[in-house]
Amino acid sequence: MSSRMTASPQAEKPALKVLLCSPRGFCAGVVRAIDAVERALAVYGPPVYVRHEIVHNRYVVDGLKAKGAVFVEQLDEIPDTDAPVIFSAHGVPRAVPKEAAARNFFALDATCPLVTKVHREAEIHFRRGREIVLIGHAGHPEVIGTMGQLPADAVVLIETLADAAVFTPRDPVKLAYVTQTTLSVDDTAEIVDLLKRRFPAIIGPHKEDICYATQNRQEAVKLVAPRVDAMIVVGAPNSSNSQRLKEVAERAGCTRAVLLQRAGDIDWAIFGALKSVGITAGASAPEILVEQIIDAFAERYTVDVENVSAASEDVFFPLPRPLRDSEAAE
Ligand code: SF4
């Protein structure tokens, strides 16, 4: 347990217990993706092109832009160049590396290895003649990337229990499922249970597709949310795992759960009269944003911070190979 006391006059400030979820914030895949861009900038110099936000966080993206990264949504926005072109942690459809190769781009793939694992699973199912159900959210770049590993009719997207209830496979004994890595563990378990009841022969992953970071952050929120008056999830609205953390907090009994991008977004009409608040951060949110939020509370309250840990993490992913090699060469 640690505590953070504010400058005098403390007596005039009400007390606030801050329960800090652990783990929170950056996962190994996000660290690797950001390091890949920074390393590429250091080795090759700017510009370094990045397809899509490298991770879903404006603070991170703006920081990399300031160092010379150029973010694009599609490769056709990039002029002919020798500069590195990096694919984001969410993964890309096969057409993207193909297009990069056709244009002789120096492509560096920062797809998280745990997303690549899902791509490989889907490919194996496809080769074995199975129809594939992908449980995930339409339009999310990871879902677009996973579906884009295979021909258009090979993968069926299921977003909800209602979708699972009406899904009709081509052949119920040649069926498999994979999932997005950043889903709600509990919602996904319900969907998988329903699919297994309806199609007992359906084949799933050997090891959970929802990644360790998503699971651990949700577990920590489940410990904290029932103990606090309000819960803050630091993360971007387009960050799937951050949105799920907010939902998990609500489901765990916290009626005031909000997703915030930065301290300046705190609505003091909601957060101005609390006895306790829980704080976590999505896998793409840097710790400095959490610190700034605690500092904002410390200006109004006498703050006592307690760490609540659901797991310890020591996962590390090495950089994409060309960047690893450049590191070794130094
Ligand atoms: S949230 Fe999970 S799958 Fe996504 S980048 Fe992080 S470790 Fe990889």
What whole-number distance in Å separates Cα of residue 196 and Cα of residue 218? 24
Q: Is 183 in the pocket of ligand 1 (CB under 6 A)?
A: no
Nearest residue (by CA) to ligand 1, atom 2, is 211
Instruction: Find how far residue 4's CA is from the centre of its chain.
Output: 29
Please name the residue ranges forming H helices in the chain: 28-44, 58-67, 95-102, 113-127, 141-147, 161-166, 185-198, 212-224, 240-251, 268-271, 287-300, 321-329
DSSP per residue, 215-226: HHHHHHHHHHGG
The burial of 215, by beta-carbon neighbours within 10 Å (0-12 exposed, 13-18 middle, 19 or more buried), is given as middle
What is the amino acid identity at position 173? Answer: V
Residue 130, φ and ψ in degrees, nearest 5: -95, 145
- Residue 53 C-alpha to ligand 1 middle, in angstroms? 14
Beta bridge partners of 51: 72, 87
Tell me what pLDDT residue 206 has: 86
- Residue 11 C-alpha to ligand 1 middle, in angstroms? 43
What is the reported pTM?
0.94
Q: What 3-state class would DSSP assign to 314?
A: coil
- Residue 117 C-alpha to ligand 1 middle, in angstroms? 11
Tell me what pLDDT residue 325 has: 77
CA atoms within 13 A on the CB side of 186: 12
CB 161 within 8 A of CB 191: yes
Q: Is 27 in the pocket of ligand 1 (CB under 6 A)?
A: yes
Q: Which of 12, 73, 142, 219 is catalytic?
A: 142
Active site residue 142: yes
First to last CA, the chain: 41
Under the phi-then-psi rule, with left for phi > 0, alpha for psi from -120 to 50, and beta for the rest, what region is 45? left
Tell me what pLDDT residue 207 has: 85
Tell me what pLDDT residue 2 has: 46
- Residue 3 C-alpha to ligand 1 middle, in angstroms? 30
DSSP-assigned letter for residue 203: B
Q: What 3-state class would DSSP assign to 230?
A: strand
Tell me what pLDDT residue 12 has: 85
What are the tokens at 119?
């791509």
Q: Is 146 in the pocket of ligand 1 (CB under 6 A)?
A: no
The burial of 57, by beta-carbon neighbours within 10 Å (0-12 exposed, 13-18 middle, 19 or more buried), is given as buried
CB 284 within 8 A of CB 245: no
Nearest residue (by CA) to ligand 1, atom 7, is 29
Q: Is 283 in the pocket of ligand 1 (CB under 6 A)?
A: yes
What whole-number distance in Å separates Cα of residue 290 and Cα of residue 293? 5
Those residues whose C-beta lies under 8 Å from the C-beta of residue 7, and which sit 6 or more positions away, are: none
Q: Tokens 């920590």 belong to which residue?
A: 220
What whole-number distance in Å separates Cα of residue 98 and Cα of residue 116? 16
Tell me what pLDDT residue 158 has: 98
Beta bridge partners of 50: 71, 86
Per-residue pLDDT of the chain (330 residues; tens, 9 = 90+): 444 555 555 568 999 999 999 999 999 999 999 999 999 999 999 999 999 999 999 999 999 999 999 999 999 999 999 999 999 999 999 999 999 999 999 999 999 999 999 999 999 999 999 999 999 999 999 999 999 999 999 999 999 999 999 999 999 999 999 999 999 999 999 999 999 999 999 999 988 899 999 999 999 999 999 999 999 999 999 999 999 999 999 999 999 999 999 999 999 998 989 999 999 999 999 999 999 999 999 999 999 999 999 999 999 999 999 998 776 666
Nearest residue (by CA) to ligand 1, atom 5, is 29
